[in-house]
């Protein structure tokens, strides 16, 4: 069996995704931004991590008008 590194044949993609994941886990720039995101997430019925992940992955903040996307996120929860 041949050994394959975790990045396979795409070294740049591996490190780009790893950096994006680290940015998503990093705290926001200010306490006020953190509080705003927690409140927005709670109003939508999402966790802070789900809400922050959506901002990083899609580049936009969710609102009540995004009910279909919020439902998708809730349906994808484990457990």
The predicted-structure confidence for 5-52, as pLDDT tens digits, reads as follows 666 777 888 888 888 777 777 777 799 998 999 999 999 999 998 998
User: Where in the sequence is the domain holding 61, given as residue range(s)?
Assistant: 27-75
Number of folded domains in the chain?
Answer: 1
Residue 8 falls within a domain, yes or no? no
Confidence at residue 21, expressed as pLDDT on a 0 to 100 scale: 77
3-state SS of 3-58 is: CCCCCCCCHHHHHHHHHHHHHHHCCCCCHHHHHHHHHHHHHHCCCHHHHHHHHHHH
Q: For residue 67, how many C-alpha atoms fall within 13 Å in the half-sphere facing its CB?
A: 2
Inform me whether the pLDDT recorded for 1 exceeds 70: no
Residue 49 falls within a domain, yes or no? yes
Confidence at residue 51, expressed as pLDDT on a 0 to 100 scale: 93
Residue 3 falls within a domain, yes or no? no
Inform me whether the pLDDT recorded for 4 exceeds 80: no
The model's pTM: 0.67
């Amino acid at each position: 069996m041949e050994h394959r590194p975790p990045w396979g044949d795409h070294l740049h993609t591996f490190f780009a995704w790893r950096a994006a994941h680290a940015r998503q886990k990093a705290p926001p720039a200010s306490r006020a931004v953190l509080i705003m995101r927690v409140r927005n997430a709670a109003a939508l019925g999402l966790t802070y991590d789900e809400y922050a992940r959506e901002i990083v992955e899609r580049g936009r903040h969710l609102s009540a008008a995004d009910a279909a996307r919020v439902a998708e996120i809730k349906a994808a929860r484990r457990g």
